[in-house]
Amino acid sequence: MKKQGFQPDWRNTAPEASSFRSIFKWGASATFKHPNERLYALLKETFSLSDRDFQTRQNQGDEAVVLNPAVPMRLSVEQVRLFEDIVGENNVESGDYARVKFSSGKTMEEIHQLRSSAVGRICDLVVHPRNKADICQIVACANRQKIPLYVYGGGTSVTLAPKPVKGGITLVMATHMNRVVEFNETNQTITVESGMMGPVLEDFLNHAPTLYHARHAYTCGHFPQSFEFSTVGGWIVTKGSGQMSSYYGDACDMVISQEYVAPSGCLKTLDYPSTATGPMVNDMLKGSEGAFGVLVSVTLKIFRYQPENRRRFSYLFPSFTDGISACREISQSQFGMPSVLRISDAEETWVGLKQHGLESRVLERFLAYRGYLPGKRSLMIGHTEGERGFSKNVRKMIGKICKRYGALPLSGYPVRKWEKSKFADPYLREDLNDFGIWIDTLETGLTWAKLLEVHEQVRAYIKARPQTLCMTHCSHFYPQGANLYFIFLSRFATLEEYKTFQMGIVERIVKSGGSLSHHHGVGKMLAPLMEKHLGKEQMDVLRALKAHFDPQNIMNPGGTLGLD
Amino acid sequence: MKKQGFQPDWRNTAPEASSFRSIFKWGASATFKHPNERLYALLKETFSLSDRDFQTRQNQGDEAVVLNPAVPMRLSVEQVRLFEDIVGENNVESGDYARVKFSSGKTMEEIHQLRSSAVGRICDLVVHPRNKADICQIVACANRQKIPLYVYGGGTSVTLAPKPVKGGITLVMATHMNRVVEFNETNQTITVESGMMGPVLEDFLNHAPTLYHARHAYTCGHFPQSFEFSTVGGWIVTKGSGQMSSYYGDACDMVISQEYVAPSGCLKTLDYPSTATGPMVNDMLKGSEGAFGVLVSVTLKIFRYQPENRRRFSYLFPSFTDGISACREISQSQFGMPSVLRISDAEETWVGLKQHGLESRVLERFLAYRGYLPGKRSLMIGHTEGERGFSKNVRKMIGKICKRYGALPLSGYPVRKWEKSKFADPYLREDLNDFGIWIDTLETGLTWAKLLEVHEQVRAYIKARPQTLCMTHCSHFYPQGANLYFIFLSRFATLEEYKTFQMGIVERIVKSGGSLSHHHGVGKMLAPLMEKHLGKEQMDVLRALKAHFDPQNIMNPGGTLGLD
């Protein structure tokens, strides 16, 4: 590919501290990842844009957050004082910026609004609890006063989960509630407060030999794309799943016990790895998305950190169908699972190869000759982990299976490339949005039997819209199924047009046999579809638990999980 | 060991079809496993008995079941007719024998009573539902009429779980509800009715290539000691765990989805292997022990059946402590788990070696010389499964670890011996009971950090009783802990004396840090300890679910799980 002369002036300056942009910008304020020249060319081609369309950035949200007209604070001075008395004045904020910041997640809807200095529903007061005792008092006080309580972890939700649609108080967990409570090498567990951020946890575990005189270094095993900016509590209450879930399990699989503060009282589940003492309250709390109470601390399984045992692989399959067949065989063959396994569909493979400059006429002719045709071929990448012999055997077996399904082995280059950028891709969003291109993702959990049909039907829906890119992959595997992750890029005239399209995708996912969400959760965005998806009987069970934990509906009210 | 002249006249005749013995006798009516001469010698020695004490069998329970005085039927003729109208007259029983049989489990308490033709609380009517529609009607009718409903699976409960303490109706699931609903090789699942017995399920799966034109043969992976005589539904509602759980998971881990009929309505959970749509109702139902509703059918994960990959091992450790350390290292080293892993404490090792005639002076001198002292040494047996290379690597790593912890490798003989008798040991009970020796088991789930202390404290309690054998092993392993399984033999003058001793053990287990049960469940026997164990807050959550599913408390009422 020839070098392009013109490149857009992708933004390289951190947002002002008090600006709207500082709220919606992904990740670290001074970190950027821009589309490379090849991706830029692809964007122009796809959306019929010219260099001219990339000359001026739009709606950058650089305005300072000032609520105009002011969004009135609905708590009385006396009520505010009640909470100041609990956590201290320093830990209570009522300024415009804090109220907007801690009321915002990372949905396209919210970003779009913030870019125009528009603000949806926000909380009245921001409170930073210091410890469990604070939270007990806050929950009790809010319950007495019937004040809504929202919990803010890392703010990376893409489902409007923490949106304080009824106002009231937002609890910010990461400020103080980010400590290690207990590291227990004998049990191979760590107990942490729920506001701990991913990298802090991982750093503790990686350095356990120095910090705790541990015999081994450990890893948490949970690496969602939001890893750097999300909290342990957020992972669990939304039922998250990391990029290495196929080996380490989903977030909920790692939870040995939890400590919760609910309006109904405080509880701590027991830390037995297995016990036959009736239905497990520990399980009932997972995925409660702040609607039952506040997750205070959690005891997690941990894993040995042995990156030296990692074995990388990548393969090109004749088709997505072949790749999926290989993934199913890998997941069901009982040699253990690779930590990372990703299979891209034809369009994602096409974009990926293009973006990374891996296409050339010679290569193309070779691949076509071998039967790996553009528009059909499908890229798999991954790596293994665990004990050395285990990891080696998994790698070996994957090679055997891929060969059986007609795959061409590639070098470790694609997976190393992916590893380097695995947390960085969300940074692309601001660049695209700056020039009016929308990018978003939706995802679903499936059984193997339904996977290809859902892929086909959802793609058909998305691609029916002109000038729309749709890249899809599977990245979380189970013996019984996998997920599908759809990334779509397009241009929309209005937010309403976008939302209609987005909900159309979700409806198509569910109608064709996928679950409402594999790991993003439900929040308030997908809540209206819950009852139809789960059925009234299951929703009634969730409502019964809600009524028990939170009889006055102060916890994350306004639609979460479809409970109210 | 010298051959003994006298051997007791162990009973070799099947009980009469209508006798009390036919109810309490373990397993198949004409199958027996008697203590061998070495075990017999050990029993005499332990309990200071002589051949004379083994001349006459006591309380064999050969009397025909006739309720005298009659236990009145508390249902009216009209009520009985309601249920006859649902399932047909042929599927309703009200005779003494059926009422007693389907009201009895396998606790020592029940067996002791039945041996004297004594009967505790029994149901009024036995109903054999034919299908889900029957169950929907039965539950609705019982709910309208406020008639208690109990569910009987295989009848192997050792916790008084199905005991119909409030009378009413007992549903017998195994009679008709034992069909395969769907075999799905793509998803690697099987859906079966809850009354299916273990061997029927395993047989279907092993023969999947013939029966379903499947590409592979499969196994259910769940092999509790009760396997041959328990139902799939029973495994799940009591949170059972099989002898291969370390590799295949506990019963609940295998449950993809369930269909339930509760007084609140019918529900079927969705069959996604993973989904982030709030707390999982599928999980809330696991372990409900019949107190929420009737489990009608279940979709289970299945596994490839490849016994040819099994690798066997056995080791002798200098001490139980060393063996436990090795087991922990095995469970945490991330090379995958063996399917069977069992480590016996010193007393169980001693009894085992004695019973199997593996002691000799020469061997003894050799072992003592090598540091494997009697009264300290500890036997580990096990085998691996899974894909060939995986299984080989697990076997290899276990060898390495055991060596590191000072173990002496033995041949495959002990594990083959165990495999042969793994379902047969319960047959010993009738022989012991026939001569007044009580044998029972209690078990607990633990974290590694607590394991040795609980072992020591519980043993101290049990061994404080004179003339009491106590054999203990761990047989279910997790990275975070394991179980302890206590088998105790002693003689008691009265049932009350026995029960006091038994509950003393349970209390010591919980007080020293173990869970109330690892895989036997709670039933009505351990229910009084639930609230203290879990705390009021967790019990209130279970009660809230109970109130939702069964507002009139007709499902397994009378103490199950401590709910009423």
CA distance B22 to chain A (A): 29
- What pairing do the DSSP bridges indicate for beta strands B169-172 and B149-152? parallel
Nearest by Cα to B473 from B351, B339, B384, B331? B351
Q: How many CB atoms lie within 10 A of CB B547?
A: 16
Residues 6+ positions from A449 with CB-CB distance below 8 Å: B184, B186, B187
pLDDT tops 90 at residue A355: no
Mutate: best of B187, B257, B275, B305, partner A, most A CBs <10 A: B275
pLDDT tops 60 at residue A2: no
Kindly report the average pLDDT of chain A as a whole number: 96
Q: Return the number of CB contacts < 8 Å for A and B.
A: 288
Interface contact B286-A279, CB threshold 8 A = yes
The predicted pLDDT at position B306 comes to: 97
**With DSSP H G I counted as helix, E B as strand and the rest as coil, what are the percentages for chain B, rounded to 5?**
40, 20, 40
Residue B450's alpha-carbon distances to A160, B324, B444, B457, B499, in angstroms, are 42, 12, 11, 11, 26
pLDDT tops 80 at residue A465: yes
Domains of chain A in start order, with CATH, are 77-175 (3.30.43.10), 180-304 (3.30.465.10), 307-422 (3.30.70.3450)
Q: How far apart are CA A422 and CA B133, in angstroms?
A: 51
Helix (H) or strand (E) holding A443: strand A438-447
Chain B residues whose beta carbon lies within 8 Å of the beta carbon of residue A306: 334
Cis bond upstream, residue B273 (ω within 30): no
User: If you count them, how many residues does chain B have?
Assistant: 564
Out of B272, B390, B480, closest to residue A393 by CB: B390
- Picking from A351-355, A474-478, A559-563, B462-466, which range would have the lowest pLDDT averaged per residue? A351-355
Chain B residues whose beta carbon lies within 8 Å of the beta carbon of residue A220: none
SS3 A193: strand
Q: How far apart are CA A255 and CA A288, in angstroms?
A: 14
- Mean pLDDT, residues A311-333 taken together: 98
CA distance A40 to chain B (A): 34
Interface contact B281-A534, CB threshold 8 A = yes
β-strand partners of B315: B380, B409
Interface contact A481-B238, CB threshold 8 A = no
SS3 A539: helix
What's the token pair of residue B92? Answer: 């309703």
Chain B residues whose beta carbon lies within 8 Å of the beta carbon of residue A387: 333-335, 393, 397
Nearest CA in chain A to B526: A277
Nearest by Cα to B456 from B500, B532, B513? B513
Chain A residues whose beta carbon lies within 8 Å of the beta carbon of residue B537: 264-267
Mutate: best of A187, A266, A267, A274, partner B, most B CBs <10 A: A274
Q: How many CB atoms lie within 10 A of CB B429?
A: 21
The predicted pLDDT at position B3 comes to: 53
Q: Please report the DSSP string for A362-413 in residue order.
A: HHHHHHHHHT--TTT-EEEEEEE-SSHHHHHHHHHHHHHHHHHTTPEEE-SH
Chain B residues whose beta carbon lies within 8 Å of the beta carbon of residue A187: 447-449, 480-481
Nearest by Cα to A143 from A559, A564, A552? A552
Q: How many CB atoms lie within 10 A of CB B299?
A: 26
Interface contact A304-B483, CB threshold 8 A = no
Mutate: best of B253, B478, B480, partner A, most A CBs <10 A: B480
CA distance B435 to chain A (A): 33
Out of B188, B480, B517, closest to residue A187 by CB: B480
What's the token pair of residue A451? Answer: 């996977």
pLDDT tens, residue by residue, A416-429: 999 998 999 999 99
pLDDT tens, residue by residue, A486-538: 999 999 999 999 999 999 999 999 999 999 999 999 999 999 999 999 999 99
Out of B184, B446, B517, closest to residue A276 by CB: B517
Interface contact A241-B184, CB threshold 8 A = no
Helices (H), B66-174: 77-87, 96-101, 108-115, 132-145
Residues 6+ positions from A269 with CB-CB distance below 8 Å: A257, A258, A259, A280, A281, A282, A285, B538
CA distance B456 to chain A (A): 18
CA distance B368 to chain A (A): 30
Residue A510's alpha-carbon distances to A421, A451, B120, in angstroms, are 31, 12, 52
Nearest CA in chain A to B397: A389
CA distance A76 to chain B (A): 33
Out of B269, B447, B482, closest to residue A538 by CB: B269
- What pairing do the DSSP bridges indicate for beta strands A169-172 and A149-152? parallel
Q: How far apart are CA A256 and CA B464, in angstroms?
A: 35
Nearest CA in chain B to A328: B186
SS3 A305: coil
Rg of chain B's alpha carbons, rounded to an integer?
Answer: 24
Interface contact A276-B522, CB threshold 8 A = yes
Interface contact A283-B284, CB threshold 8 A = yes
pLDDT tops 70 at residue A1: no
Interface contact A447-B272, CB threshold 8 A = yes
Q: How far apart are CA B37 and CA A403, in angstroms?
A: 58
CB of B111 closer than 8 Å to CB of B157: no
CA distance B185 to chain A (A): 9
Vertex B447: Cα angle to B443 and B453 (nearest 5)? 70
Out of A188, A530, A561, closest to residue B480 by CB: A188
Interface contact A186-B448, CB threshold 8 A = yes
Q: How many CB atoms lie within 10 A of CB A209?
A: 14
Nearest by Cα to A519 from A314, A239, A310? A239
What's the token pair of residue B328? Answer: 């922990």
- What pairing do the DSSP bridges indicate for beta strands A125-127 and A92-93? antiparallel
Vertex B186: Cα angle to B184 and B189 (nearest 5)? 40
Out of B281, B386, B534, closest to residue A334 by CB: B386
- What pairing do the DSSP bridges indicate for beta strands B255-262 and B265-268? antiparallel
Residue A300's alpha-carbon distances to A236, A258, B73, B515, in angstroms, are 10, 9, 52, 18
The predicted pLDDT at position B124 comes to: 97
Interface contact B522-A256, CB threshold 8 A = no
- What pairing do the DSSP bridges indicate for beta strands B340-344 and B378-384? antiparallel
Amino acid at B281: V
What's the token pair of residue A168? Answer: 């009231």
Q: How far apart are CA A135 and CA A113, in angstroms?
A: 32
Q: How far apart are CA B457 and CA B518, in angstroms?
A: 18
Interface contact A301-B537, CB threshold 8 A = no
Chain A residues whose beta carbon lies within 8 Å of the beta carbon of residue B535: 267-268
Interface contact B390-A387, CB threshold 8 A = no
Residue A388's alpha-carbon distances to A260, A288, A309, B83, B390, in angstroms, are 38, 38, 5, 61, 12
Q: Per-residue confidence at A373, pLDDT binned at 50, 70, 90? A: very high
Interface contact B393-A393, CB threshold 8 A = yes
SS3 A63: coil
What's the token pair of residue B365? Answer: 């001198």
Chain B residues whose beta carbon lies within 8 Å of the beta carbon of residue A264: 537, 540
pLDDT tops 50 at residue A146: yes
Q: How far apart are CA B208 and CA B219, in angstroms?
A: 10
Out of A241, A284, A521, closest to residue B284 by CB: A284
The predicted pLDDT at position B339 comes to: 98
Residues 6+ positions from A52 with CB-CB distance below 8 Å: none
The predicted pLDDT at position B353 comes to: 86
Chain B residues whose beta carbon lies within 8 Å of the beta carbon of residue A288: 278-279
pLDDT tops 80 at residue A359: no
Chain A residues whose beta carbon lies within 8 Å of the beta carbon of residue B184: 447, 449
The predicted pLDDT at position A470 comes to: 98
Nearest CA in chain B to A483: B274
Out of A250, A301, A530, closest to residue B274 by CB: A250
Helix axes A320-332 and A448-463, enclosed angle (nearest 10): 150
pLDDT tops 80 at residue A7: yes
**With DSSP H G I counted as helix, E B as strand and the rest as coil, what are the percentages for chain A, rounded to 5?**
40, 20, 40
pLDDT tens sequence for chain B (564 residues)? 455 589 999 999 999 999 999 999 999 999 999 999 999 999 999 999 999 999 999 999 999 999 978 888 899 999 999 999 999 999 999 999 999 999 999 999 999 999 999 998 999 999 999 999 999 999 999 999 999 999 999 999 999 999 999 999 999 999 999 999 999 999 999 999 999 999 999 999 999 999 999 999 999 999 999 999 999 999 999 999 999 999 999 999 999 999 999 999 999 999 999 999 999 999 999 999 999 999 999 999 999 999 999 999 999 999 999 999 999 999 999 999 999 999 999 999 999 988 877 777 788 888 989 999 989 999 999 999 999 999 999 999 999 999 999 999 998 889 999 999 899 999 999 999 999 999 999 999 999 999 999 999 999 999 999 999 999 999 999 999 999 999 999 999 999 999 999 999 999 999 999 999 999 999 999 999 999 999 999 999 999 999 999 999 999 999 999 999
Distance of CA A505 to the CA centre of its chain: 18
pLDDT tens, residue by residue, A197-212: 999 999 999 999 999 9
Mutate: best of A244, A401, A541, partner B, most B CBs <10 A: A541
Interface contact A279-B516, CB threshold 8 A = no
pLDDT tops 60 at residue A3: no
